[in-house]
């Protein structure tokens, strides 16, 4: 007797156009029944993966390919179809400085674990010599100082940021090319078996981890390809973006192959090249960064600031540098906007409840109070309209020792 086999969900109409059972193995065994075939769409993602995708697109400008790759690996994990006994996924991020390689990992932590710093970060430049590996593994028992050395890659360190709803850890090996052979061998074991043995023989399980490695390998060659008037841009015409992207991807992959052993490269699931940010992308990064500065201001002396178009153009002009990408833009924001505003707050020229118009002067920004005495509620409401305030506050703009810091406790009393 033919056994029924559910081929799709319950909405499927039973008995209809017949499938060519003689072409399927179950059909030949007499185990398939006639139902209407339903075309399925593998490009659709589930709700959880879509939430991650939206979060990454909100916080990271451009770099769609890297986001696509991360979401696809996460989706495979959610479906329970990632390889057992190995990390959930491993990525090598290549590309020039300030293009978002580290930011995309922070954004993932922010979206999945609600904390952008919920990443176990290993700075590989600190492990240029083989003996320094002890800092990652801890010393074997009996060695001098054994009790004082805590393994940076312990199970506790991995589990620390996991949440009940997202029991995964993000591990970042930054500037991987600067590490020693010993570090790469250690990584090889993690990528292959998902297990690491510490100095005291305890095992660390990496099967709930996403491993990221970042590197600037090949970045100079990539930049040469995209510089106007030279390299690919000159020979093929800058309109041919797809070919240019493929060429950049090839350059990056080749640089990595030159540096790392084939065993190492072959164990990495996805190699993704990050692309230099163009003018429109930097403009969007500026919006994100201004929103962050405004959030920071709200947590100290709450006031509002708004940049005119000319002021924004100046910050972008001064903050555009191909070599350092958005890193240079952040420096420009810090120098032109954050430091002067911190001075104005410290000297009480800006006070709680002020509204400040930021315009362009000759080669800097000028600040003008255009309203005062706004209530915290009004300020928060207006700031919410000016900037979408749905990301946590990051610390990188906090000028140390300023009054912005001292007034932080005021935050609690403010209406949300
Ligand atoms: N694509 C991007 N989208 C949004 N912000 C970005 C992007 N790229 C860079 N930034 C901003 O610039 C800062 C520096 O970028 P990030 O740390 O990601 O650079 P990186 O590519 O890791 O460079 P490096 O190779 O120098 O480490 C980030 O903290 C972020 O604020
Ligand atoms: Mg980085």
Render pLDDT for 37-87 as a digit per residue (tens, 0 to 9): 888 888 887 888 999 999 999 999 999 999 999 999 999 999 998 888 899
Q: What is the CATH number of the domain that holds 184?
A: 3.40.50.300
Are 368 and 296 part of one and the same domain? yes
**In terms of domains, do 151 and 223 share one?**
yes
Do 240 and 92 lie in one domain? The reply is yes
Shared-domain flag, residues 162 and 126? yes
In this structure, the number of other CB atoms found within 10 A of the CB of residue 76 comes to: 16
Q: What is the mean pLDDT of the chain?
A: 83
CA of residue 256 to ligand 1 center, whole Å = 21
Amino acid 350: pLDDT: 96
Confidence class for position 240, pLDDT limits 50, 70, 90: low
Q: Which of 273, 308, 330 is the last residue of a domain?
A: 273
Domain boundary among 255, 273, 291: 273
Residue 349 has pLDDT above 60, yes or no: yes
7 and 58 together in one domain: no
- Please compute the mean of the pLDDT values over residues 165-193 and round it to a whole number: 92
233 and 331, same domain (yes or no)? no
- The residue whose CB lies within 8 Å of the most ligand 1 atoms, and thus the one to mutate among 66, 326, 330, 331, is 326
Residue 248: predicted pLDDT: 84
**Whether residues 9 and 101 fall in one domain:** no
Residues 26, 117 within the same domain: no
Q: Is 62 in the pocket of ligand 1 (CB under 6 A)?
A: yes
User: Where is average pLDDT lowest: 38-42, 94-98, 159-163, 208-212?
Assistant: 38-42
CA of 48 to the centre of ligand 1 (A): 25
Q: Does the pLDDT at position 122 exceed 60?
A: yes
The ligand 1 atom nearest the CA atom of 62: 1
Instruction: Clarify whether residues 301 and 390 are in a common domain.
Output: yes
pLDDT score, position 145 = 58
Q: What's the number of domains the chain is made of?
A: 3
Question: What value does the mean pLDDT take over residues 140-145?
Answer: 63
107: Cβ below 6 Å to ligand 1?
A: no
Whether residue 2 has pLDDT greater than 50: no
Cβ(349)–Cβ(305) below 8 Å: no
Question: Are 31 and 111 in the same domain?
Answer: no
Per-residue pLDDT averaged across 238-264, rounded? 83
Is the predicted pLDDT of residue 112 greater than 60, yes or no? yes
Q: Any idea which ligand is nearest the CA of 98? A: 1
The CATH number that applies at residue 326 is 1.10.8.60
Is the distance from the beta carbon of residue 292 to the nearest atom of ligand 1 less than 6 Å?
Answer: no
**Any idea what the Cα angle at residue 234 is, between residues 230 and 239, rounded to 5°?**
130
Q: What's the whole-number mean pLDDT along residues 331-341? A: 96
Predicted local confidence at residue 304, as pLDDT: 94
Please report the pLDDT score of residue 106 as a whole number. Answer: 96
- Cite the DSSP H helix spans in 260-336: 262-267, 279-298, 309-318, 325-333
The yes-or-no verdict on residue 401 having pLDDT over 70 is: no
User: Residue 11 pLDDT more than 50?
Assistant: no
Q: Distance from the CA of 366 to the center of ligand 1, in angstroms?
A: 27
- Which residue has better confidence, 24 or 350? 350
Which residues span the domain enclosing 301?
279-412
Please, are residues 111 and 59 in contact by the beta-carbon 8 Å criterion? yes
DSSP 35: B
Residue 353 class from Cβ within 10 Å (0-12 exposed, 13-18 middle, 19+ buried)?
Answer: middle
CA-nearest residue for atom 13, ligand 1, is 327
pLDDT of residue 143: 61
Is the CB of 360 within 6 Å of ligand 1?
Answer: no
- Could you identify the atom of ligand 1 that is nearest to the CA of residue 396? 29
pLDDT at 251 over 80: yes
Residues 194, 232, single domain; the answer is yes
Q: Please name the residues in contact with 127: beta carbons below 8 A apart, sequence gap of 6 or more.
A: 133, 135, 136, 178, 179, 180, 182, 183
pLDDT at 341 over 80: yes
221 with 361, same domain: the answer is no
Domain boundary residue, one of 256, 273, 290: 273
Instruction: Give, in order, the Cα–Cα distances in Å from 189 to each of 29, 70, 174, 268, 416.
Output: 43, 22, 18, 12, 48
Q: What is the pLDDT of residue 363?
A: 83
**pLDDT surpasses 90 at 356:** yes
- CA–centroid distance, residue 272 to ligand 2 (Å): 14
Instruction: Choose between 20 and 389: higher pLDDT.
Output: 20
The predicted pLDDT at position 43 comes to 81
pTM: 0.82
Q: What is the pLDDT of residues 194-235, one digit of tens each?
A: 999 998 889 999 999 999 999 999 888 888 887 655 444 444
Expressed in angstroms and rounded, the spacing between residue 110 Cα and the centre of ligand 1 is 15
């Amino acid at each position: 007797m033919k056994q029924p086999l559910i081929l799709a969900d319950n909405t499927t109409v039973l008995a209809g156009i017949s499938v060519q059972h003689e072409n399927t193995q179950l059909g030949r065994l007499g185990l398939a029944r006639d139902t209407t075939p339903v075309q399925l769409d593998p490009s659709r993602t589930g709700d959880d993966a879509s939430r991650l995708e939206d979060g990454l697109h909100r916080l990271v400008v451009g770099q769609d390919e890297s986001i696509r790759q991360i979401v696809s690996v996460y989706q495979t994990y959610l479906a329970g179809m990632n390889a057992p006994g190995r990390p959930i996924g491993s990525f090598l991020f290549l590309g020039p400085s300030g293009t978002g390689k580290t930011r995309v990992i922070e954004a993932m932590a922010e979206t999945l674990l609600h904390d952008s710093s919920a990443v176990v970060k290993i700075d590989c430049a600190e492990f240029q010599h083989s003996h320094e590996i002890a800092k990652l593994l801890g010393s074997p028992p009996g060695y001098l100082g054994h009790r004082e050395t805590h393994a940076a890659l312990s199970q506790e360190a991995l589990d620390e940021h996991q949440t009940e709803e997202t029991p995964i850890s993000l591990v970042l090996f930054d500037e991987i090319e600067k590490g020693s052979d010993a570090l790469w061998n250690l990584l090889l074991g993690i990528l292959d078996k998902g297990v690491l043995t510490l100095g005291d023989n305890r095992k660390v399980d990496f099967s709930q981890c996403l491993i990221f490695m970042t590197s600037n390998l090949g970045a100079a060659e990539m930049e040469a390809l995209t510089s106007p008037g030279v390299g690919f841009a000159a020979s093929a015409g800058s309109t041919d973006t797809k070919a240019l992207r493929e060429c950049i991807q090839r350059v990056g992959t080749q640089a990595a192959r030159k540096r790392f052993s084939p065993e190492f490269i072959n164990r990495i699931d996805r190699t993704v090249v990050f692309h230099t940010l163009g003018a429109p992308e930097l403009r969007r990064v500026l919006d994100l960064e201004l929103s962050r500065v405004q959030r920071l201001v709200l947590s100290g002396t709450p006031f509002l600031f708004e940049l005119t178009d000319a002021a924004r153009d100046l910050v972008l002009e001064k903050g555009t540098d191909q070599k350092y990408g958005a890193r240079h833009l952040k420096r420009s924001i810090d120098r032109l906007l954050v430091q002067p505003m911190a001075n104005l707050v410290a000297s009480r020229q800006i006070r709680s409840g002020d509204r400040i118009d930021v315009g362009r002067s000759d080669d800097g920004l000028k600040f003008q109070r255009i309203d005062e005495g706004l209530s915290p509620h009004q300020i928060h409401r207006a700031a919410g309209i000016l900037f979408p305030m749905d990301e946590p506050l990051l610390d990188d703009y906090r000028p140390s020792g300023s009054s912005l810091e001292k007034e932080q406790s005021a935050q609690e009393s403010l209406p949300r």
